[in-house]
Amino acid sequence: MKPRLFWDTNVMLDLLAEREPYFEDAEIIASLADKHKIKLFVSTLSFSTCAYLLEKIHPADTVREKLRKFKILAEISSLDNDVIEKGLNAKFSDFEDALQYFSALNSNCDIIISRNVKDYKSVDIPVMTPKEFLLSLKTK
């Protein structure tokens, strides 16, 4: 079975904004999704956050095109009433991370990919940086 990876907003932004030195790892993982070797998930929250931030450096039509292309690679994990309720009552210091975590759980993801691993304390699924995930593939 293909691993189900949930991308935190920071990794999605690394790819779409081509942020160095993180872009290459994000691009490799995106290519694995494109080749159907993994299933990639992102929350609806990530789409709106990335759009907001990318529009500060690119024209809106360019941003929409980037998001359209990315949507082909990723499945959207919903941000519904249940996720909001769990996020509000969770012991996360960052509400956005709580929403991401519960979105990942709702999509039955195996791993959360984030550059802010420390923000996901005491969670029920592994959290790895993009680099850690790619290294884990080499050891299998």
Domains (ranges, CATH) in the chain?
A: 4-138 (3.40.50.1010)
Q: What is the pTM of this model?
A: 0.92
Answer whether residue 102 shows pLDDT above 70: yes
Percent of the chain with pLDDT over 90: 86
Answer whether residue 118 shows pLDDT above 80: yes
Average pLDDT of the chain, as a whole number: 94
Q: Is 90 helix (H, G, I), strand (E, B) or coil?
A: coil
Cβ(55)–Cβ(66) below 8 Å: no
pLDDT of residue 107: 96
Which is nearest to 22 in space by CA: 136, 125, 132? 132
Percent of the chain with pLDDT over 70: 99
pLDDT of residue 73: 95
CB atoms within 10 A of CB 23: 15
Q: Is 68 helix (H, G, I), strand (E, B) or coil?
A: helix
Query: How confident is the model over 75-91, as a mean pLDDT?
Result: 94
Structure tokens at 67: 């998001």
Answer whether residue 84 shows pLDDT above 80: yes
Which is nearest to 104 in space by CA: 3, 23, 35? 3
